[in-house]
Amino acid sequence: FIDFERGRRAAIATSHLEIKGTLAIGAFTLSGIADRIDVLTSGGAAILDYKTGAAPSKKQVENLMSPQLPLEAAILASGGFGDIGSRATEALLYLSLASEKSARTPRLIDGAAELAKEAVDALQRRIAWFAEENTPYRSRVRPYRADIAGDYDHLARVREWSPSGWAEEE
Residues 86 and 140 in one domain: no
- Cβ pair 48, 37 in contact under 8 A: yes
Q: Which domain holds residue 147?
A: 136-170
Residues 125 and 142 in one domain: no
Domain shared by 113 and 55, yes or no: yes
Give percent helix, percent strand, percent coil of the chain, each to the nearest 5: 40, 25, 35
Do 25 and 95 share a domain, yes or no? yes
What is the separation of C-alpha 37 from the centre of its chain, rounded to a whole number of angstroms?
A: 14
Q: Are residues 51 and 12 in the same domain?
A: yes
- Whichever domain contains 42, its CATH number is 3.40.1350
Q: Within this chain, do residues 14 and 36 fall inside the same structural domain, yes or no?
A: yes
Interval 121-169: pLDDT, tens:
999 999 999 899 998 877 776 665 666 677 777 787 777 776 665 444 4
Q: In terms of domains, do 80 and 110 share one?
A: yes
User: Is 164 in the same domain as 89?
Assistant: no
Taking the whole predicted model, whether its pTM rises above 0.75 is answered as: yes
Domain count, the chain: 2
- Give the pLDDT confidence of 31-50 residue by residue, as tens digits: 999 999 999 999 999 999 99
